[in-house]
Amino acid sequence: MIRSRFLTAGLTVALIAAAAAAPIAAQEPSPQRGGEVNLSQFEDADTLDPTFAGTAGARVVFINMCEKLYDLDADGALVPQLATALPTVSEDGLTVTIPVREGVTFNDGTPFDAAAVVKSLERHRTAEGSRRTSELSSITASAAPDATTVVLTLARPDAALTASLSDRAGMIMSPTQLDLLGADFGNAPVCVGPFKFVDRVVGDHTTLERSEDYYDAEHVYLDKVIYRPIADETVRTANLRAGDLQLVDRVATTDVAALKDDPEFVVVARTSNAYTAMTVNIANANGIAGEPGVVDDPLANDQLRKAFDLAIDRDQINQLVYSGLQVAGCGPISPANPYHDGVACPARDLEGAKALVTASGVATPIRVELQVASSPVNVRLGELLQSQVAEAGFELAVLPLDNATAFQNQNDGAFDIMLTPWSGRVDPDANIYRFHYSTGTDNFPKAVDPELDALLDEARSVNDVEARKALYAQIVERVKERRSVIYLQHQVLYSAHTSALQGFELFVDGMPRLKSVSLSQS
Amino acid sequence: MSRYFLRRAGESLIALWLATIVVFIGVRSLPGDPAIAMSGEGREPAANALIRQRYGLDEPLPIQYLRWISITITGDLGTSIRTGQPVTAEILSRIPTTLELAGLAGLFAICFGLPLGIAAAVRRGTRLDYLAGSVGLIGLSIPTFWLGIVLILIFAVWLEVLPASGYVPFLEDPIQNLERMILPVIVLGSALGAVLLRQVRSGMIGSLGSDYVRTARAKGLTERQVVVGHALRNSLITVVTILGLELGALISGSVVTESIFLIPGFGRLIIEAVSRRDYPVIQGVALFSAVAYIAINFGVDLLYSYLNPKVRMGSTAQ
């Protein structure tokens, strides 16, 4: 009797405890539909036509409006988006087959199919003035044998093609809207996307609204997304604090600590593929399109260039210029990238630098000019470099310039060294080939190395990941040794949003994806 | 009067033509190729070559000038290299915003500078005079960008009584429009207000010490009649001249204010165009500013001649 009473009491307690726990478990908040998010763009888009767009500002809008054949996951791995699987590549590497979704419509109701994909790819490839031409240069033809299959014929194997199709070159535009607007597509773009274009006032705002035609519309929660181009980072943060913005795409490192301390805001960080480096004029005497020649730049000398590099203290730069919030880098591939060689940057070697300067026989101080795009951070960086390399015998003059002048000087070879940021790409080929290939479009140093060229050509044609990694390890070692580009840091991106914004994740490409983001209404 | 008008009109047209040459040469002298500046990171040589060809950037400069001036005199300022939109439409869409900002800032400057200047002059040597002088010095010294950020911090972030940024057209929502204009107007108008304060003060001090004012007092006029009806009227000549010069500067100098408060006006248009070397936009905006300056100063000269008949008579007298 007593035993049964105990048993009954125990069961009763257990039942009561379970009943109490159930509401707690059920109180996991589900995303709420509704609301609009105002977010900053650090630069305005040039055009909202994926074929002709050249700015990161346009990419920021596209990411929520214009899906691609492939996308990235948060860590930068390629995943299918409008495609249903990664591409199948023939044994000779010259035929690429991409399966695409069915039952999907563009945001104007036009059915999405393989023919629409081919139309977009051909436009990207062949339209006059297209900025996607080099990204798709390996493709000679594209075809749609059926509604869910795209077949690409290549002139050469291209291991970087899938990565290219995860950016603007892979964005698929409504064929109806292309036929209607043609070259004016950017005025009223229509794609497949969680949000659709509403309006744009250049320099003021771009408005998107949730698309009910989207194939995964039930997981899109926001009603509206409004982009506001704000170039100044102080103004961006001020607007976030004032509540006029709910999300800031790029937060200055100087604002990170204060925002982190404020419970009203959430700061998210992600190491990206972007970097800051210095491009050295080794032989650019006749402009980027001309032949290499002799330049009056002390750092064209291999020994002095190495000495300059050895005199740099990257950790000190990170601490003093970036508040310790970036990652020191000495190669073209970010630690966030699976192709990173895993080799840590060497520490500063001032004695080695001095020895090389002495061995060169060049009288000190060695005068060199560093051109930087004018900004407080870049000037601070330049001044710190000035003091570091001075200890090795270099007299570094820092010349701040506006971007257009800097680009022109780079093009013309009118520089000794130039601070050159790069926003970074997923595939290592896109971060290396154009800068280091002898005839690369961005080989501003005009450095020539046939062996490096051969390695780069081989790496972009090999589809096996492990084989590519081995090749890029050799390439990076050669790039580091040559020092035509001296890498300083890999960029950690910081975004900030109000605590009411739920589900936001910062991806390695820094593009703010808002598909599954919601606003807490409480 | 009509001879004076015609003479000033002719001079204005010559100034305008010279302005087109200065604008064109100035823009072309900027270092940097628009095609390269436009392409940013994504350099595509073929696309850049097409831009140069499409916008005639590979032609000799005199040809480029003639091509530009021939369409400009029809009111067509060309097409933006960056956005592909007509420059005239871009300017016209933004100029009402900047005119509103500049107009309200000018009004604020008058409301702030004029009474304080008068009071400082009338109460010369008193605490009010020193206070007005300090206010004027502060208004001239404070950098616009700093003032803007501080006002945002105080009123938008801490007190949450005003929005931090943005613009709503007046016809869309007058209340929102004026609410969002308060801080930008203070930022833009404070320096001009300080200038007006000092000019009014010194002008009034000079007038109040003159013979005709002594005569007016001797005739038994009230102090208010003396100050407003006599001393102020003469001081206004200087004020009108300054306003004429500065209003043009308000329009073209609204760059920083518009950038801080995200107002889609003229100033932001020019700063973006310059950074991208968008020649048609830079030329269009610079020319528009030149026209505004010349037109405003033309108007000021006419107003000046009304306020001071000696100007008209001197121009027609032999």
Which ipTM score applies to this complex?
0.78
The pLDDT score that the predictor gives to residue B95 is: 86
- Band the pLDDT of A31: cuts 50, 70, 90: confident
User: What residue type is B49 in one-letter code?
Assistant: A
CA distance B168 to chain A (A): 11
- Band the pLDDT of B316: cuts 50, 70, 90: very low
pLDDT at B43 over 50: yes
pLDDT at B239 over 80: no
Q: How large is the average pLDDT for residues A320-330?
A: 94
CA distance A245 to chain B (A): 10
The pLDDT score that the predictor gives to residue B312 is: 61
Chain A interface, best mutation among B153, B262, B268, B282, by max A CB count within 10 A: B262
- Band the pLDDT of B311: cuts 50, 70, 90: low
The pLDDT score that the predictor gives to residue A19 is: 47
pTM: 0.85
Judged by phi (left if over 0) then psi (alpha if -120 to 50, else beta), residue B28 lies in alpha
Contact (CB<8Å) B44/A407? no
Tell me, yes or no, if B88 comes closer than 8 A to chain A by beta carbon: no
Q: Chain A residue with minimal CA distance to B30?
A: A405
Distance CA B202, CA A343 (A): 71
Nearest CB neighbour to A411, from listed B36, B163, B260: B36
The pLDDT score that the predictor gives to residue A2 is: 44
Tell me, yes or no, if B64 comes closer than 8 A to chain A by beta carbon: no
CA distance B256 to chain A (A): 11
For A370-399, write each residue's pLDDT tens digit. Answer: 999 998 899 999 999 999 999 999 999 999
The pLDDT score that the predictor gives to residue B40 is: 66
CB A214 within 8 A of CB A192: yes
- Band the pLDDT of B85: cuts 50, 70, 90: confident
Q: Read off the tokens for B156.
A: 């938008």
- Whether residue A111 has a cis bond before it, omega within 30° of 0: no
Tell me, yes or no, if B79 comes closer than 8 A to chain A by beta carbon: no
- CA-to-CA dists, residue A50 to A53, A121, B54, B79, B297, angstroms: 5, 11, 20, 20, 46
Q: Chain B residue with minimal CA distance to A434?
A: B43
Q: How large is the average pLDDT for residues B242-262?
A: 81
Contact (CB<8Å) B82/A408? no
Nearest CB neighbour to A242, from listed B83, B90, B156: B156
List CB contacts (< 8 A) between B275 and chain A: 402-404
Chain A interface, best mutation among B27, B30, B33, B43, by max A CB count within 10 A: B43
Q: Chain A residue with minimal CA distance to B267?
A: A203
- Band the pLDDT of A309: cuts 50, 70, 90: very high
CA distance B134 to chain A (A): 29
CB A518 within 8 A of CB A503: yes
Q: Chain A residue with minimal CA distance to B275?
A: A404
The pLDDT score that the predictor gives to residue A147 is: 97
- What is chain A's mean pLDDT, rounded? 92
**For the ranges A31-35, A362-366, B140-144, B275-279, the one whose mean pLDDT is highest:** A362-366
Distance CA A295, CA A297 (A): 6
- CA-to-CA dists, residue A516 to A220, A351, A508, angstroms: 5, 54, 17
3-state secondary structure chain B: CHHHHHHHHHHHHHHHHHHHHHHHHHHHHCCCCHHHHHHCCCCCHHHHHHHHHHCCCCCCHHHHHHHHHHHHCCCCCCECCCCCCEHHHHHHHHHHHHHHHHHHHHHHHHHHHHHHHHHHHHCCCCHHHHHHHHHHHHHHHCCHHHHHHHHHHHHHHHCCCCCCCCCCCCCCCHHHHHHHHHHHHHHHHHHHHHHHHHHHHHHHHHHHCCHHHHHHHHCCCCHHHHHHHHHHHHHHHHHHHHHHHHHHHHHHCCHHHHHHHCCCCHHHHHHHHHHHCCHHHHHHHHHHHHHHHHHHHHHHHHHHHHHCHHHHHHHHCC
For A59-104, write each residue's pLDDT tens digit. Answer: 999 999 999 999 999 888 999 999 999 999 999 999 999 999 999 9
Nearest CB neighbour to B37, from listed A235, A404, A442: A404
CB B115 within 8 A of CB B308: no
Count other C-beta atoms under 10 Å from residue A69's C-beta.
26
CA distance B196 to chain A (A): 30
* CA A443 to the chain's CA centroid: 20
Chain A interface, best mutation among B38, B44, B85, by max A CB count within 10 A: B44
Chain B interface, best mutation among A204, A273, A439, by max B CB count within 10 A: A204
Length of chain B: 318
Nearest CB neighbour to A228, from listed B39, B153, B262: B262
Q: Chain B residue with minimal CA distance to A49?
A: B83
**Token pair 């044609």: residue:** A461
CB-side neighbour CA atoms (13 Å) of B194: 16
Nearest CB neighbour to B50, from listed A128, A239, A241: A128
List CB contacts (< 8 A) between B42 and chain A: 54, 131
Distance CA B49, CA A270 (A): 37
Q: How large is the average pLDDT for residues A1-6?
A: 48
A95-109, A131-145, A503-517, B263-277: segment of lowest average pLDDT: B263-277
pLDDT at B293 over 50: yes
The pLDDT score that the predictor gives to residue A22 is: 45
Contact (CB<8Å) A54/B40? yes
Contact (CB<8Å) A241/B157? yes
Nearest CB neighbour to A232, from listed B41, B167, B259: B259
Contact (CB<8Å) B47/A243? no
CB B193 within 8 A of CB B108: yes
Helix, strand or coil, per DSSP, at residue A140: strand
List CB contacts (< 8 A) between A128 and chain B: 50
Nearest CB neighbour to B38, from listed A46, A184, A238: A46
Restricting to B residues 141-200, those with a Cβ less than 8 Å away from any Cβ of A are 149, 152-153, 156-157, 160, 163-167
Distance CA B117, CA B128 (A): 10
Restricting to B residues 257-286, those with a Cβ less than 8 Å away from any Cβ of A are 259-260, 262, 264, 268-269, 272, 274-277
How far apart are the two ends of chain B, measured CA to CA in Å? 14
Q: Read off the tokens for B5.
A: 């008008």
Judged by phi (left if over 0) then psi (alpha if -120 to 50, else beta), residue A148 lies in alpha
Contact (CB<8Å) B260/A442? no
Beta carbon pairs, A and B, within 8 Å: 125
Higher-confidence residue of B179 and B301: namely B179
Helix, strand or coil, per DSSP, at residue A370: strand
Higher-confidence residue of B216 and A266: namely A266
CA distance B149 to chain A (A): 7
Distance CA A236, CA A40 (A): 7
List CB contacts (< 8 A) between A239 and chain B: 164-165, 262
Q: How large is the average pLDDT for residues A359-365?
A: 95
Nearest CB neighbour to A242, from listed B90, B93, B157: B157
Distance CA A317, CA A452 (A): 30
CA distance B157 to chain A (A): 4
Contact (CB<8Å) A238/B164? yes
